[in-house]
Amino acid sequence: MDVYITDLSAFLPNKPVSNDEIEKIIGSVDSHVPTRIKKIVLKSNGIQTRYYAVDPETGKPTHTNAELTAEAARRLRPYDGFSLNDIECLACGTATPDQLIPGHGLMVHGELHSGPCEVVSTASVCISGMAALKYAYMSVALGLSKNAVATGSDMASPSLRPWLYNAVATDRKKAGGLEIEEPVPLFDTVFLRWMLSDGAGAAFLTGDLGAERPALRIDWIENISFAGEFDTCMYSGAKKNANGSLTGWRDYPSPEEAAREGVFLIRQDVKLLNRDIMKVSVEKALPLVVKKHGLSPSEVDWLLPHYSSDYFRQEYYDHLKDFGFEIPYEKWFTNLTYKGNTGAASMYIIMEEIFHSGRLTKGDRILCYIPESGRFSVCYVMLTVV
């Protein structure tokens, strides 16, 4: 059956944080890290403000990831008299759960204190939120549940704490004495301190439109992995070896040694990212979507792109144009500059803003683009305003 998103919500914690306030909130890393990295990255990514679940006075967390997500779900208003106890299926995606076990979705359900329902957790990086959306979509489409709530959230701030970086820095300072030939490089992780932030979003899905109010029909969702062809690019909890394999944190003799190796930091292979992300997004994924759904650029009234940095904006446009799928900028909508890169939450936060903006017209077709550099996956979603 047809499935509709009848409401979207978002939650961004505390007050917006400007570029000059970042280190006041998340702290400063030891001075061996060049401050020019900050200037270069901020100029490139175009982000002006973002949000952190951190008390600016104490530096302590104000929320957990589960609490952020639960608050987003509480803000849903799909119909008059809606209760959280009405939810039949809850699908939650994140790259940064608060703990290893139990699953993130169960922790969110616990925060909601709502009645019994099916709960599923999806794990990856940015696409984890879309994997949750697809699970919720399939559950309703197959008639397995009358409704579903899908969420995407990420809480990067705990992984940006200075002590995680300084543990590696101590090892770097001792590198000569330990006769380490190649100290652990830090650029592949330090630059992410100026890229990532906290947030959550939620969507209510149903097969029943009910009252006359705007809704988004989900036409299709395509999550495509190219991990069989590409090495790992973004990772945490592991060290990347020379042959491209990963050694997980559990294989280290002690947590201290793992920390010195920078295993608990979020890392991204920038060379791989710049070389392959557009190749995967346009040259590999888009042809599959176009062939399967007969998609053409003339059908697209709105393009909602989730890119991690404004650096990729022009590059994505150029690749689309070269592929024969040019979509003019006046059809693009993103809020990266003032709401930040919130990973798995980003597309929910983008969709929520445009859904409630009054800018959509019945019949508009919306193409969502969500790339993920974890091991190179791409998600494309097609929605129709009804």
When pLDDT is cut at 50, 70 and 90, the band that residue 351 belongs to is very high
209 or 286: whose pLDDT is higher?
Answer: 286
pLDDT at res. 96: 98
Instruction: Compute the average pLDDT of residues 258-283.
Output: 94
Instruction: Compute the average pLDDT of residues 121-150.
Output: 98
Q: What is the pTM of this model?
A: 0.94
Tokens 């990266």 belong to residue: 336
Beta carbons of 186 and 168 less than 8 angstroms apart: yes
* Domain residue limits, the chain: 4-215, 222-226+270-385
The token pair at 29 is 């890393």
CATH T-level topology, domain 222-226+270-385: Peroxisomal Thiolase; Chain A, domain 1 (3.40.47)
Percent of the chain with pLDDT over 90: 87
Phi–psi pair at 193, nearest 5 degrees? -65, -20
CA distance 169 to 225: 35
Amino acid occupying residue 305: P
Helices (H) and strands (E) in the chain, counts: 13, 15
The b-or-e profile of 131-168 (16+ CB within 10 A means b, else e) is: bbbbbbbbbbbeeebebbbbbbbbbbbbbbbbebbbbb
Instruction: Compute the average pLDDT of residues 51-58.
Output: 96
Rounded to an integer, what is the distance from CA 348 to the centroid of its chain? Answer: 9
Domain 4-215 and domain 222-226+270-385 have a common topology:
yes
Instruction: Compute the average pLDDT of residues 260-269.
Output: 93
CA distance 153 to 321: 32
The architecture of the domain spanning 4-215 is 3-Layer(aba) Sandwich (3.40)
pLDDT surpasses 50 at 177: no
Lowest pLDDT segment from 70-79, 163-172, 233-242, 331-340: 163-172
When pLDDT is cut at 50, 70 and 90, the band that residue 36 belongs to is confident
Q: Which of 152, 9, 6, 150 is nearest to 91 (CA)?
A: 150
When pLDDT is cut at 50, 70 and 90, the band that residue 187 belongs to is confident
The token pair at 59 is 């530096």
Beta carbons of 346 and 308 less than 8 angstroms apart: no
59-97 pLDDT, tens digit per residue, is: 999 999 999 999 999 999 999 999 999 999 999 999 999
198-241 pLDDT, tens digit per residue, is: 999 999 999 998 777 899 999 999 999 999 999 999 999 999 99
pLDDT at res. 168: 83
* β-sheet bridge partners, residue 9: 202
* β-sheet bridge partners, residue 202: 9, 151
